[in-house]
Amino acid sequence: MTETHADYQLSQLDQLEAESIHIFREVAAEFEKPVLMFSGGKDSIVMLRLAEKAFYPAKIPFPVLQVDTGYDFPEVIACRDKWVSRLGVRLIVASVEQAIADGIVVDDGKTSRNRLQIGTLLNALEEGSFTAAFGGGRRDEEKARAKERVYSHRDEFGQWDPKMQRPELWSLYNGRIHEGEHMRIFPISNWTELDIWHYIGREGIEIPAIYFSHQRRVFQRDGMLLTESDFNPLRTGESAEERTVRFRTVGDLTLTGCVESEADTIDKIIDEIAIARVTERGATRGDDRFSEAAMEDRKKEGYF
């Protein structure tokens, strides 16, 4: 038996964990068909861990849904498979390639895979008739997210209307929806990037290897360092070279930039972030840089 806190104080990480567990249980109790949207990134792995804790020793009572862009990092897929087999949770993979083949989304050669994910995701949610979908969004990530509720209502088209949000009081969540609508649930809304890393360190959580410093052949494009790969042919004037890098976010390989870094442990990553001067999205996500309101637009369409 572990001794808890003599002064009845919970640290802020413990408070965040307790809040997230509360949200997972509330959704599992009130929604008919929840699903956890899994990106393979550190935030969604922390969500898996929190869900594991919420229902232990029972298994997580809902499946995990991943949108496969076709351009995913192999290290991310490997890590996902380990988690899924350890937890014994059902994995549903919705493939963008398949969605293109089925005519659900249209690849015009200009649209990014992250954008094509929206249609693929919405289709998978509809096909599975899921009524609640957990997402790993954090309010510190971006200005539009700062105003989003923990329970975020989506209409029949999967759209978010910031002006129609329900007030969210105390820890009383309103999960009522109509036929065809669903709720996006953000259990880690109140966590910051630093909280996530501290928690990964404290819990010894396994995350994809690409978060740690490694050697990789990269090239410069639009001010970002991108991975050389078959999905991402070099354009005229671009040249790849080997650098010591790591990734701060995980997404479509063709769009997710890395940063030069020697941080090969969680502690070193935390040190690096504590003195970082650019937000994780601003630094390494091409899809958020197209316009100042890029995230707001994608959210309204039904992006995570």
Interface positions, 40-59, toward another protein (CB under 8 A): 52-59
Q: Residue 159 interacts with another protein (CB under 8 A)?
A: no
Q: Residue 29 interacts with another protein (CB under 8 A)?
A: yes
Q: Residue 236 interacts with another protein (CB under 8 A)?
A: no
Which residues are 183's β-sheet partners? Answer: 132, 153
Q: How far apart are CA 250 and CA 247, in angstroms?
A: 7
Taking CB under 8 A as the binding criterion, the range among 107-115, 160-168, 235-243, 249-257 that sits at the site for another protein is 160-168
Here's the x/- map for another protein, 113-152, by CB under 8 A: it reads as --------------------------xx--xx-xx-----
Out of 95, 98, 112, 190, the only residue in the binding site for another protein (CB under 8 A) is 190
Q: In 82-112, which positions are buried (b, 16+ CB within 10 angstroms) versus exposed (e)?
A: ebbeebebeeeebbbeebbeeebbeeeeeeb
Least Cβ distance, residue 52 to another protein (angstroms) = 8
Q: How far apart are CA 87 and CA 42, in angstroms?
A: 17
Q: Residue 111 interacts with another protein (CB under 8 A)?
A: no
Least Cβ distance, residue 115 to another protein (angstroms) = 18
Residue 119 has which token pair? Answer: 């249609």
Here's the x/- map for another protein, 243-282, by CB under 8 A: it reads as ------------------------x--xx--xxxxxx--x
Q: In 181-212, which positions are buried (b, 16+ CB within 10 angstroms) versus exposed (e)?
A: ebbbbbbbbbbebebbbbbbeeeebebbebbb
Q: Residue 172 interacts with another protein (CB under 8 A)?
A: yes
Out of 169, 236, 237, 239, the only residue in the binding site for another protein (CB under 8 A) is 169
List strand residue ranges (DSSP E) for 132-240, in order: 132-134, 151-154, 182-185, 214-221, 224-227
Taking CB under 8 A as the binding criterion, the range among 22-30, 40-48, 76-84, 242-250 that sits at the site for another protein is 22-30
Q: How far apart are CA 281 and CA 304, in angstroms?
A: 14
Out of 97, 155, 168, 264, the only residue in the binding site for another protein (CB under 8 A) is 168
Least Cβ distance, residue 82 to another protein (angstroms) = 19
Q: How far apart are CA 125 and CA 122, in angstroms?
A: 5
Least Cβ distance, residue 4 to another protein (angstroms) = 5
Residue 44 burial class via C-beta count within 10 angstroms: exposed 0-12, middle 13-18, buried 19 and up: buried
